[in-house]
Amino acid sequence: MNLEICRITHFSSDKDYILAHFCDQDVLSLRQRMSVVEQEAAPYGFLRIHVRYLINLNYVEQYDDKKRTVVMEDGTELPISRGYLEGARRVLGR
């Protein structure tokens, strides 16, 4: 992955594409599978919270266990799905 990974706040899937959301509001479209992106980004502090979302832990502003959401520094609110909830609780349950 040849991106400035530390500037990416999160990845989201959009059908056949993955969108890389950067801290400066830029968005880059990639033709890649989320599982591949997840594997490559994991060493850089990324966590899968939903089948559609992979977040950079350095940009998490708030975690709400009751609502099952995270709010990123830019204000983007992302859901945490049931399947990824336990992992998110382990990592985010501060």
Distance CA 18, CA 29 (A): 6
pLDDT tens per residue, range 29-46: 999 999 999 999 999 999
pLDDT score at 88: 94
Phi, psi for 87 (deg, rounded to 5): -65, -40
Q: Which CATH superfamily, name and number, covers 5-92?
A: LytTr DNA-binding domain (2.40.50.1020)
Q: Where are the domains of the chain?
A: 5-92
> Whole-model pTM?
0.91
Q: Which positions ≥6 away from 87 have C-beta within 8 Å? A: 47, 48
CB contact at 8 A, 40 and 89: no
- pLDDT surpassing 90 at residue 11: yes
